[in-house]
Amino acid sequence: MELRRVELLEVWVRLKSPFETSFGKTLERPAILVRAEERGGEVGWGEVVADSGPWYSYETNETAWHVIRDFILPQLKGDVGPRGFPALVSRIRGHNMAKAGVEMALWDLAAKLEGRPLWQYIGGVRDRIASGVSVGIQPSLEDLVRVVDSYVQEGYQRVKIKIRPGYDVEPVRRLREALGPSLKLQVDANAAYTLSDVEVFRRLDDFGLLMIEQPLGWRDLVDHAELARHIRTPICLDESVADADDARKAYQLGSAMIINVKPARVGGLGETLRIHDLWYRQLGRPIWIGGMLETGVGRGHLVAAATLEGVRYPNDISASSRYYEEDIVEPPWELNRDGTISAPRASGIGAEVLEDKVRSAAKRAYEFRP
């Protein structure tokens, strides 16, 4: 397809409550929305999820703005599409969130041009996805039990809690005592531990967790393989897997049984599909889809990814109401009574962006005409 213009619109969105992890606390976050319009006037949307500081990854909204404006957009001349996009930006090392935001706008656009929902366009196999909820570090364990219980009452199929040194075994013990053994529960350390903490993970083995997400270093594969030899609970990698090649190495080393695939972290839906093909189709191991507190735009892409066959655990894809008072799409993403989110029937990501609202709220904008 031939693009008429690509716009960047940066909005800041405020969470309903602070989200605290081992690397910091978020109450407001930037979202760079990418609006890609082709010659016939059809429009696709993507979202750049990079935070304002380089904590989860080295990318920030500033680095993403710079890399997209100065290096990615100038490549979008002539006939471009989502499948050819990686080759256009392959000289740019890293900056996967910047790439992913643009790439996903092209996927939405390509699916809309064919009049198909994005999830079907990328080969998804289910029309509802299992929804879990990621719960930040709470001020007290009483707060934690109350917050988790309210999400369970809403119907979320599993709960992930953030842990960090000093807030790990006790929160899990309290949740098990208060809510019982049948709650599907897992923890995410966001790389806050080292191999010298193996005893913490041995103790967590007693609580029947589904998995432990990214316990060790954010680029590490070797130490995770060592830790895996000392514990029973499966290890799930998040930060350490930036592409399908990392997934292959994780398999060869024995670093993880499960991968939390975040399309933003791996550079988009194309690399998500490559990881899925390798980890699930070739190696027979499960994946699930993680989130970055996306607005309804980014979440539309996550929902599409979560319809892939190899997604075998509930996802960090919650309803709009879990994150924001008001989302920037219509309809907002809603949780069904059975703890699922329905894959949309409308074309593309299946939700309309509230464009007037986005334009008037935008802190900055940039327009590129190929």
What amino acid positions are annotated as catalytic residues?
A: 162, 262
Nearest distance, CB of residue 212 and Mg ion, angstroms: 11
Minimum CB separation from Mg ion for residue 241, in Å? 11
342 phi, psi to nearest 5 deg: -75, 135
Q: CB-wise, 263 or 270, nearer to ligand OSB?
A: 263
Given the complex with Mg ion, which of 168 and 213 has the nearer CB atom? 213
Q: How far apart are CA 210 and CA 208, in angstroms?
A: 6
- Interface with ligand OSB (CB under 6 A): 56, 134, 188, 190, 238, 290-293, 316, 318
What's the one-letter identity of residue 298?
G
Q: From the list Mg ion, ligand OSB, none, which binds 7 (C-beta under 5 to 8 Å, kind-based)? A: none
Contacts (Cβ under 8 Å, ≥6 apart) of 75: 88, 89
**Cβ of residue 360: shortest distance to ligand OSB, in angstroms?**
25
The entry of ligand OSB, Mg ion, none near residue 240 (CB within 5 to 8 angstroms by kind) is: none
Only one residue has tokens 């507190």, namely 293
Tell me the pairing of strands 352-353 and 235-237.
Answer: unpaired
In angstroms and rounded to an integer, the radius of gyration of the C-alpha atoms of the chain is 20
* Partner from ligand OSB, Mg ion, none binding residue 246, C-beta < 5-8 Å depending on class: none
Residue 79 β-bridge partners: 2
- Report the distance separating Cα 313 and Cα 171, nearest Å: 22
* Residue 358 vs residues 37, 101, 219, 364: alpha-carbon distances, Å: 16, 16, 35, 11
- Nearest residue (CB) to ligand OSB, 290 versus 348: 290
CA atoms within 13 A on the CB side of 44: 32
Q: Answer with the entry of Mg ion, ligand OSB, none that 134 interacts with (C-beta below 5 to 8 A by kind).
A: ligand OSB
**Binding site residues, Mg ion, CB under 5 A:** 188, 213, 238
How far apart are alpha carbons 122 and 105 in whole angstroms? Answer: 14
Whose CB is nearest to Mg ion?
Answer: 238
What's the closest the beta carbon of residue 49 comes to Mg ion, in angstroms?
13
- List the single partner that 291 binds among Mg ion, ligand OSB, none, CB under 5 to 8 Å by kind: ligand OSB
